[in-house]
Chains A and B, each alone.
Chain A
Amino acid sequence: MAVTLPPLLWVGVFLLTPYLLMFCYSFWSVTPAQTIVHAWNLDNYRELLQVRVYWQTLLRSMWIAARVTLFSLLLGYPLAYFVSFYAGRKKDLLYQLVIIPLWVSYLVRAYAWKTILGSDGVLNTLLQYVHLTRHPLEFLLYSPFAVVLTLTHIYTPFTFLPVYAALEHIPRNLVEASHDLGATPAQTFWKVIFPLSIPGVLAGATFAFVLSLGDFLAPLLLGGPSGIMISNIVVSLFGAAYNWPLGAAISLCMLVLVVSLLFFSERLEKKWSFS
């Protein structure tokens, strides 16, 4: 009991209490004079459903997160496969090279894309220099495209890591057994390697989706008006708008969404893991 008390206390003070407070706030309301009234009601949730911008932004955020997930898997999986199966002695070096960007500040990486994609940026300058375009391309920056690109760059290592771990766990004699039984390299990949790496793919996809769904810095810096995501709305509701109850209601919806996603992906991962 004495041993379990400190961690329980920690969880209670720093996790459960904030969640509980947020839960309570989401059922309170705010007066036009900007004071929070502790009167229980469902107005915030009603507003959430009725005001288009909220659920549209939520849907757009999910769409952005889904694209980020897809692209970071498309980038991360082949990379993990190559490093795990074909890198040989360079394996550790390549692994470290994938990890290193994680040590660089998020802000720096986001700003880097800003300098690349901006109208005076590296990419536009280059395109004009080689006379592919006459004017800077405007859609590159301050658009959902920029957000998806930046988030994909940032979260690809997060999909790479679990996929790599799953691939490393595949006994190599299974690959030999498959070749031995007459399977071509492509058949071996689709019938043995890929099915056995599914838990890693699911874990990586969950990371990429959940982390990019809740992101607010990339849309803030690179999204422009059309690239706003749900977290930006939450931020402004808690900040400038001073509508903590509505912000709490949106946060709670996202929490439910994310937790159920985690739950299902874990169930699926279990279903696909064999040992």
Chain B
Amino acid sequence: MGSITTSLSVAADGKAEVARTLLSLRNVAKHFGKNIVLRDISLEIAEGEFLTILGESGSGKTTLLRIVAVFESASSGEVWMGKERLDQQPPYRRRVNTVFQHYALFPHLTVEQNVGYGLRVAKQPEAEITERVEEALAKVKMTAHAKAKPSRISGGQQQRVALARALVNRPRLLLLDEPLSALDANLRRQMQVELKSLQREVGIAFVFVTHDQEEAMVMSDRIALLRSGELEQVATPREIYSRPATAYAAQFIGHTNLLRGEIGGGMARCSSLSWPVTQPDGPALFSLRPENVRVVSAGSPAPPGSVRVAGTVLHQAFHGATELIRVDCGGLVLVARTPALSGSRTKVELEFSAADPVPVRESPERI
């Protein structure tokens, strides 16, 4: 392996932190004619990290990946890997490999030849190729199909071969473009787990592109949420879920209640609700996760620091262990996720803790 690059990056609050940065994108933008696909993307990827670029279709996530893979050139900005400008090298010169959306296995080559392709074009000794191909196939449990042509194996198996074909070259960074999107739901969940454990095992940094927020949550060390070509938030799954930065992030990852209100004199007011906050005065937007809203029995004593509100049940959806309940609280509709209730209700009393609503930024419409 090449030398590990250590870079010193200074965080916004002035504290210096030491991070082993593998790849950094600096102010990357891309437009096709008048159509702006990416604007001002700056992102650092650490050694061995599993980073997911999450976004809806048309958010620019695939374009961003293609820029890192050097299949596409950025209109402005730079891509660095250590001391090398990645975006000024032809794709066949860098130590980045890609797993394509539809696998892109060579149909005229066997599984074995597909996996050995990268080593063979690099003119490695034949004995080493055989050994490494065997090792890679064993790692993805495809040894039994080594002599098969790609058209003879299933989608999940093709997926594994594509992974082996990329990993056998020992890249420093692996790019994955929605690699699981063509698989059915069960296989997909299984592959998510396999992929994650494989990534831990090989210790290579993965940049994974998906539109599936659940997939992103399950697999990633960090999620970079992309919206209309701009980064909305980059954070760990837990952080992005519990501390979404924007209304869009809150809504895209999991369900949420968006409370639009006003802060005045240390109190936030939204419809008939009010709770103490520390933010300065002015209009404000909060995200309140449904699981933080509890259904309580009427008249029970409210614990300190909690907010109570009574309402009429609009809709009750049973999900097995939990149920989602939509409640009209005098013009404000709140959704609560509660442990399954004993039956259908018409009137309920809801409670949440004053610390639960998370202030979020507005997500303005972008064209």
The chain A residues found within 8 Å of chain B, CB to CB, are 171, 173-174, 176-184, 187, 191-192, 195-196, 272, 274-275
Contacts and interface: CB of A to CB of B under 8 A. Distances in A.
Contacts of A187: 121
A182 B100 contact: no
Given A176-B100, A177-B100, A274-B149, A182 B169 contact: yes
Contacts of B97: 180-181
B178 to A, nearest CB: 12
Interface in B47-76: 69, 71
B122 interface: yes
Nearest to B97: A180
Interface in B153-176: 165-166, 169
Contact of A183 (B69, B92, B165, B166): B92
Interface string B104-125: 1111100000000110011000
B108 A196 contact: yes
A173 B102 contact: yes
Contacts of B7: none
Nearest to A174: B104
Nearest to A272: B108
Contacts of B166: 180-181
B108 A195 contact: yes
27 contacts: A171-B102, A171-B104, A173-B101, A173-B102, A174-B104, A174-B106, A176-B71, A177-B104, A177-B105, A177-B106, A178-B106, A178-B121, A179-B90, A179-B91, A180-B97, A181-B97, A181-B117, A181-B121, A181-B166, A183-B92, A183-B118, A183-B121, A184-B121, A195-B108, A274-B108, A274-B151, A275-B151
Interface residues of B, number: 26
Nearest to B113: A191
B108 to A, nearest CB: 5
B69 A178 contact: no
A173 B101 CA distance: 9
A115 to B, nearest CB: 46
Contacts of B122: 182
B153 to A, nearest CB: 13
Interface of B: 69, 71, 90-93, 96-98, 100-102, 104-108, 117-118, 121-122, 149, 151, 165-166, 169
Contacts of B106: 174, 177-178, 192
A196 B117 CA distance: 15
A182 B151 contact: no
Nearest to B120: A191
* Closest 6 pairs between A and B when the two form their complex, measured CB to CB: A274-B107, A181-B118, A177-B104, A173-B104, A183-B121, A179-B91
Most buried by A among B90, B100, B104: B104
A191 B104 contact: no
Contacts of A182: 92-93, 118, 121-122, 169
Q: What is the predominant secondary structure among interface residues of chain A facing chain B?
A: helix
Contacts of B71: 176, 179-180
Contacts of B169: 181-182
Contacts of A275: 107, 151
A35 B169 CA distance: 78
B149 A191 contact: no
Given A178-B106, A196-B107, A274-B151, 6 more contacts: A177-B98, A177-B100, A179-B90, A180-B166, A181-B97, A184-B92
Contacts of A178: 106, 117, 121
B175 to A, nearest CB: 9
Contacts of A272: 108
A195 B149 CA distance: 15
A180 B151 contact: no
Given A177-B98, A196-B108, A275-B107, A191 B91 contact: no
Contact of A191 (B93, B96, B101, B121): B121
Contacts of A181: 92, 97, 117-118, 121, 165-166, 169
Nearest to B108: A195
Contacts of A179: 71, 90-92
A231 to B, nearest CB: 38
Most buried by B among A173, A177, A195, A275: A177
A244 to B, nearest CB: 49
Nearest to B177: A173
A180 B121 contact: no
A184 B90 CA distance: 9
Contacts of B90: 179
Contacts of B93: 182
Nearest to A173: B104
Contacts of B105: 177
Nearest to B96: A180
Nearest to A172: B104
B203 to A, nearest CB: 21
B363 to A, nearest CB: 33
A180 B98 contact: yes
A71 to B, nearest CB: 27
Given A173-B104, A177-B98, A274-B151, A191 B117 contact: yes
Nearest to B115: A181
B206 to A, nearest CB: 15
Nearest to B117: A181
Contacts of A191: 117, 121
Contacts of B91: 176, 179-180
Contacts of A195: 108
A176 B90 CA distance: 11
Nearest to A274: B107
